[in-house]
């Protein structure tokens, strides 16, 4: 049976958005509505008649609403297979009326536990029982019964109601969405219970990924690979996945990776900051008194690599910053920032040669805390760790050498240490005047990363600082740094050869700080 007329509807919702409009259409079509509790009161307050479920089942609502729809006369009407004579006979025998549409959304469990100070009893009371059962029953019997679980689906139901009834195609789509809805709901409950039963554990005993496909991409990392992007429905923090795209072509797989990394870098700074990402590594990072100064310094860090890069800012992009970006000879793939001032948006979308193609993303305020966990898929499973977003207390830093760094060098050491945690290991960063001027990333040998960073910096290496994400296993990197004229080093320390490394720094008169904390990024 393809098109099923909507003659009878069961409605029980916690979110009343759009319900009055839906009820108006159902009433106009002559559909009979069954409802309970707060839903029935809402309908009555808006002038719509609905039949009390308890009157129909002859079984009272009880236990403060815990038991109201869990009855064979309700579930029989939803689950009846209309092409099975024995099902229809059972309904006639028991006085069960067929239900053509179920409109149900669930108790707000996720919103409840997201509030601060929620007690276990409050959380548990917001675990819906009858709602998921109704949803699953209607979804299972989608051959005959339609299920709407969120207000965004109402218009599609109304359109088909006006055409004479729901089609099998729509009912299948709604059923798939319904099972996704209950799966996510159960996953949130199971995850919460993990913390409830093991409050001392850092990680829950089980993790459930509830991700909704946002869009299919043109391709993955390479043209021969298909790709898609998924987002957590509960995601409300700062993310390129929830940003508003103001301009430009469709975002690619690689754009999203780079934009995410670029945004992570600039969130490390309170002063105006800009980052330039190429192939998921910073090739330019800088801070300045203004955003335009910061981006100019960032682009000068490695101009060759910056061509075709992805940029991020931690402040609203203003006219001055846009003018720097629109300079001739520069090509930018995408830009993410909290917002874009109207004058900046006008410049970026009309002035440069690449104006039609550049992707501009407004991500909103960066005040929200970063995600607490970092997840990485493996074949057959996943690694989970606390995200490396903790501040490194400077009071724990130690000057390991005879010579102490000057105040000017300390500013660059702080900057370099903030940047190096975002570079792939083995990571080496050279910085001067709070700007990245050389980067060695992802090398199998730390000394290779040092050589690459020095080569990238060229003559600018003299007087710069070197930051290393992990300790130096040998003194050879210090000798190379001294030969290039580097002025100071910051690293975690902790090598069995620390004394040799310290001795090399003392030999060359290079002050060196041990932070006591490693920042691998594989």
Angstrom distance (rounded) from CA 86 to CA 97 = 15
Instruction: Annotate 177-201 with b (16+ C-beta within 10 A) or e (fewer).
Output: bbbbbbebbebbbebbbbeeeeeee
Listed in order, strand segments (DSSP E) in 134-293 are 146-148, 212-217, 227-231, 244-247, 273-278, 281-287
> d(Cα 453, Cα 431) in Å, to the nearest integer?
10
- Give the CA-trace dihedral at 290, 291, 292, 293, to 10 degrees: 60
522 is catalytic: no
Q: Which of 140, 173, 249, 351 is catalytic?
A: 140
Q: What is the CA radius of gyration of the chain?
A: 30
Q: Is 73 a catalytic residue?
A: no
Question: How far is residue 308's CA from residue 278's CA, in Å, rounded to a whole number?
Answer: 8
Phi and psi angles of residue 275, each rounded to the nearest 5 degrees, phi first: -130, 145
d(CA 293, CA 355) in angstroms, rounded, equals 22
Q: How far is CA 448 from CA 140, 184, 344, 452, in A?
A: 60, 46, 40, 6
Task: Note whether 391 and 404 are within 8 A (CB).
Answer: no
Cβ partners under 8 Å of residue 130, min gap 6: 12, 67, 68, 69, 70
Backbone angles phi, psi at 381, to 5 degrees: 180, -155
Contact 473, 492 (CB under 8 A): no
Quick one: CA dihedral 320, 326, 330, 332, positive or negative? positive
- Pair 82, 65: CB distance under 8 Å: no
The catalytic position among 279, 355, 403, 479 is 279
Q: Two tokens at 23?
A: 């009820």
**Phi-psi bin for 458: left (phi > 0), alpha (psi -120 to 50), beta?**
left
Burial of 61 (0-12, 13-18, 19+ CB in 10 A): middle
Distance, in Å, from the CA atom of 396 to the CA atom of 145, rounded to the nearest integer, reads 64
Structure tokens at 439: 């980067």
Q: Distance between CA 291 and CA 339 in Å, rounded?
A: 13
Three-point CA angle 413, 414, 418, nearest 5° = 115
Sign for the pseudo-dihedral over CA of 441, 446, 449, 454: positive
Scan for tokens 């992570």, then name that residue: 264
C-beta of residue 461 within 8 angstroms of C-beta of residue 437: yes
- Looking at the DSSP bridge assignments, the partners of residue 384 are 375
Q: Show which residues are catalytic.
A: 140, 279
């Amino acid at each position: 049976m393809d098109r099923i007329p909507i003659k009878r509807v069961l409605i029980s919702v916690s979110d009343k958005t759009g319900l009055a409009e839906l009820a108006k259409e159902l009433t106009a079509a002559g559909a009979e509505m069954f409802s309970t509790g707060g839903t029935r009161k809402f309908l009555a307050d808006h002038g719509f008649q609905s039949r009390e479920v308890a009157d129909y089942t002859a079984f009272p609502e009880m236990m403060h609403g815990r038991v109201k729809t869990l009855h064979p006369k309700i579930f029989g009407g939803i689950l009846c297979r209309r092409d099975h004579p024995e099902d229809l006979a059972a309904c006639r025998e028991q006085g069960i009326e067929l239900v053509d549409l179920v409109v149900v959304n669930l108790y707000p469990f996720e919103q409840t536990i997201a509030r601060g100070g929620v007690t276990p009893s409050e959380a548990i009371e917001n675990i819906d029982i009858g709602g998921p059962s109704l949803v699953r029953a209607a979804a299972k019997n989608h051959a005959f019964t339609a299920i709407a679980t969120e207000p965004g689906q109402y218009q599609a139901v109304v359109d088909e109601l006006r055409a004479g009834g729901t089609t099998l195609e729509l009912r299948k789509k709604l059923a798939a969405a319904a099972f996704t809805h209950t799966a996510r709901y159960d996953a949130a409950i199971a995850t919460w219970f993990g913390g409830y039963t093991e409050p001392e554990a850092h990680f829950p005993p089980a993790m459930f990924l509830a991700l909704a496909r946002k869009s299919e991409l043109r391709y993955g990392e390479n043209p021969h690979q298909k790709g898609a992007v998924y987002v957590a429905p509960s995601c409300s923090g700062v993310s390129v996945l929830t940003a508003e795209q103001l301009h430009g072509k469709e975002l690619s797989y690689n754009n999203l990776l780079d934009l995410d990394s670029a945004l992570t870098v600039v969130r490390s700074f309170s002063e105006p900051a800009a980052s330039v990402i190429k192939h998921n590594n910073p090739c330019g990072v800088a801070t300045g008194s203004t955003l335009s100064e910061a981006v100019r310094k960032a682009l000068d860090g490695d101009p060759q690599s910056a061509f075709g890069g992805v940029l991020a800012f931690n402040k609203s992009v203003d006219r001055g910053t846009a003018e720097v970006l629109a300079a001739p000879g520069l090509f930018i793939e995408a830009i993410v920032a909290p917002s874009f001032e109207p004058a900046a948006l006008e410049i970026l979308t009309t002035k440069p040669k690449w104006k039609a193609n550049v992707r501009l993303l407004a991500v909103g305020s960066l005040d929200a805390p970063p995600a607490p966990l970092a997840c990485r898929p493996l074949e057959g499973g996943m690694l989970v760790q606390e995200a490396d977003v903790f501040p490194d207390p400077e009071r724990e830093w130690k000057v390991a050498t005879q010579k102490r760094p000057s105040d000017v060098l300390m500013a660059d050491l702080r900057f370099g240490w903030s940047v190096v945690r975002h570079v792939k290991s083995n990571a080496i960063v050279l910085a001067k005047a709070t700007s990245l001027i050389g980067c060695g990333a992802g090398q199998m040998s730390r000394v290779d990363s040092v050589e690459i960073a020095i080569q990238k910096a060229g003559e600018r290496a003299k007087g710069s600082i070197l930051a290393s994400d992990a300790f130096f296993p040998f003194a050879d990197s210090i000798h190379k740094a001294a030969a290039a004229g580097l002025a100071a080093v910051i690293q975690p320390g902790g090598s069995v050869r620390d004394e040799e490394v310290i001795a090399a720094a003392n030999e060359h008169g290079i002050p060196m700080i041990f932070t006591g904390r490693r920042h691998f990024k594989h």
